[in-house]
Amino acid sequence: MKRFLFIFVLFIYGCGYTTRPGVAPDFKTIYIEPFTNSIDITSERTNIRHHRTSIAGIEVLVTKNIEDVLKRDGRLRLVKKDQADVIMTGSVLSFNREALRYNPDGTIRESRIHITTQVAIRTKLGETLWTENISNRLGSTFAGATTDISALNSAIQDLSIKIRNRLLEDW
């Protein structure tokens, strides 16, 4: 039995598994500055299947969703800026819709939403811990105009979870 326990402990430590967060473990509070919208709406995509667009207020939706995800997680407490151990800043860099399937009349039947953000974490003293571009994983597909909002919400939720994972789990 002792041999099995020793091998099990060795395996757990040897595989790189950790419960240590992506930020220093002594950080318990965070302030999330409102994200900015840095989408360049003047540039055109060259591929007709990709549609670059801008959603008014997408930065507000992203900020709110990240706050909600972190509140549900509970490992970091959201506080005012002057009380925070770490501060998150971010910007929405792109929002793209890629057509996947078309109806016989040529209208888009199904598409994928892809959102890219730049996220930075710094200490209250201004030391940058990390800065990364983070995107939602595979995008969210939808069919028909009635599901556009739910597809957008799904893409933003996926993006927020990915940001939370980078912040706290650093796999």
pLDDT value for 159: 95
**Mean pLDDT for back-to-back runs of 10 residues, the chain (171 residues):** 52 46 74 94 56 76 97 96 97 86 81 90 94 82 61 89 89 45
Instruction: Give per-residue burial for 96-133: e unless 16+ CB within 10 Å, then b.
Output: bbbbeeeeeeeebebbbbbbbbbbebeeeeeeeeeeee
pLDDT value for 171: 45
What's CA 102's distance to the chain center, in Å? Answer: 29
**Full-model pTM:** 0.76
What's CA 114's distance to the chain center, in Å? Answer: 11
What's CA 75's distance to the chain center, in Å? Answer: 17
- Residue 72, φ and ψ in degrees, nearest 5: -65, -35
Q: What is the per-residue DSSP string for 10-77?
A: HHHHHTT-----SS-TT--EEEEPPPEE---TT---SSTTEEE---TTHHHHHHHHHHHHHHHH-SSE
pLDDT value for 9: 47
pLDDT value for 5: 52
pLDDT value for 151: 78
Residue 58 CB neighbour total at 10 angstroms: 19
